[in-house]
Amino acid sequence: MRIDGFTDHFADVNGIRLHYVVGGQGDPLVLLPGWPRTWWQFHKMMPALSERHRVIAVDLRGMGDSDKPDSGYDKKTMAADIHGLVRSLDLGSVNLAGEDIGAMVAYSLAANHPEVTRKVALWEGFHPTELFNDMRLMPREGVPNMWWFPFNHVDQLPEDLLAGRFRVLLDWLIEYESDPSAFSEETRSLYATAYDSPAAIRAGNGWYKTIQQDIEDAAEYPELDIPFLVLGGMYYDFMTAALKGRVKDPRFVEFQGAGHYLAEERPDDLVRELTSFFE
């Protein structure tokens, strides 16, 4: 699927091949998506953002048309992928925006490569810390039950259950975590196809299987003194707790009543906040 004014490209960085989509003029803005989606999750936002920015939407390691290697799914390595892309495009320093897994990678990039990071906006996702080890599996009223975190840690079973049938899980997640009307049939089909193969499912699992390594890495990171915008809907409270002591002076914005997939559900609100912040 295409967006007018944007073109597809590939870059060989950090030992893998990354797919990205670029368009617009101005200060570079790198968009990092989350599970179980691809760069396409930003398609409602990219035309408006491209009026002020050179927008680069990336398929992360293991996602979409990017390579799906057997390893390297810890967020420090994935951040090194993006660092390599920034350097290969000769962008100097960039603004970052990430959702879900993309938010984890954006934070890691800021922590490990501050020289290429201007400002960071992240929403509905945060870099793993010890708080992740306190997640409860049993459902409780009013508290989201994120059962897919341990599910994605299981070896082989996700591929056996979901290969060729990923659309079942995708539709369930959309119903549970967002406004279903925000997702067209074309978008649902695109995401399901992107994750339908055993290799794609295994790669997505990798983002979760490395969480303990991510927690260990985060323990070594200093409090970041880079401008941060933290936005949230369904998991806003989790984000404010997780970033305490991690970022010196973050700006918090809550989208009350919103779900998890804000790029599709609340694109105009995100564009408004991002435009204001990155100016």
The yes-or-no verdict on residue 137 having pLDDT over 80 is: no
Does residue 150 sit within a domain?
yes
DSSP string covering the chain: ---TT-EEEEEEETTEEEEEEEE--SEEEEEE--TT--GGGGTTTHHHHTTTEEEEEEE-TTSTTS---SS--SHHHHHHHHHHHHHHTT--SEEEEEETHHHHHHHHHHHH-GGGEEEEEEES-----GGGGG---S-BTTB---THHHHTTSSSHHHHHHTTTHHHHHHHHHHHHS-GGGS-HHHHHHHHHHT-SHHHHHHHHHHHHTHHHHHHHHTTPPPB-S-EEEEESTTHHHHHHHTTTTBSS-EEEE-TT--S-HHHHSHHHHHHHHHHHH-
Q: What pLDDT is stored for residue 142 in this prediction? A: 77
Does residue 194 sit within a domain?
yes
Q: How many domains does the chain have?
A: 1
Directed axis angle between helix 75-88 and helix 211-218, to 10°?
80
Position of tokens 């870099």? 127
Q: What pLDDT is stored for residue 143 in this prediction? A: 78
Q: What pLDDT is stored for residue 13 in this prediction? A: 98
Query: What CATH number should be reported for the domain holding residue 16?
Result: 3.40.50.1820
Does residue 2 sit within a domain?
no
Give the C-alpha separation, 194 to 216, whole Å.
30
What are the tens digits of pLDDT across the range 154-186? 999 999 999 999 999 999 999 999 999 999 999
Position of tokens 């009223």? 141
Position of tokens 């009013």? 142
What are the tens digits of pLDDT across the range 199-209? 999 999 999 99
Q: By C-alpha distance, which of 43, 103, 44, 36 is closest to 238?
A: 103
Q: By C-alpha distance, which of 224, 275, 217 is closest to 249?
A: 224
Q: Are 82 and 32 in contact (CB under 8 A)?
A: yes
User: What's the token pair of residue 247?
Assistant: 């970022």
Does residue 181 sit within a domain?
yes
What are the tens digits of pLDDT across the range 88-123? 999 999 999 999 999 999 999 999 999 999 999 999
- Which band of pLDDT confidence, cut at 50, 70 and 90, is reported for residue 3? very high
> What's the one-letter identity of residue 229?
L
Does residue 256 sit within a domain?
yes
The yes-or-no verdict on residue 252 having pLDDT over 80 is: yes
- Which band of pLDDT confidence, cut at 50, 70 and 90, is reported for residue 72? very high
Question: Per the confidence metrics, is the pTM higher than 0.95?
Answer: yes
Domain limits for position 71? 7-278
Does residue 261 sit within a domain?
yes
Does residue 1 sit within a domain?
no
User: What's the token pair of residue 164?
Assistant: 């060729």
